[in-house]
Structure 1
Amino acid sequence: VSGDGPIIVAAHAVAPREDYMTQWRSDLTWLADQCASDNVILAGDFNATIDHMSGLGVDGGTLGRCRDTTSASGNGGVGTWPTDIPAMLGAPIDHVMATPDWTVSGSIVMRTLDGSGSDHRPLVVQLERTAG
Structure 2
Amino acid sequence: MNDTNLNLSNKVNKTLKDIVKENENLSKELSLIKSKLKTKNTKPKSTPIRFYLNEKTIKLVKRCITKLQAIDPISGWFVYILSITGCRGVEIQNVKLADISQEKSNNDEVFYSLRVNVAKKRTSICIREVVIS
Structure-1-length-normalised TM-score: 0.25
Which one has a larger percent strand, Structure 1 or Structure 2?
1
Larger radius of gyration: 2
More RCO (CA 8 Å, sep 6+): 1
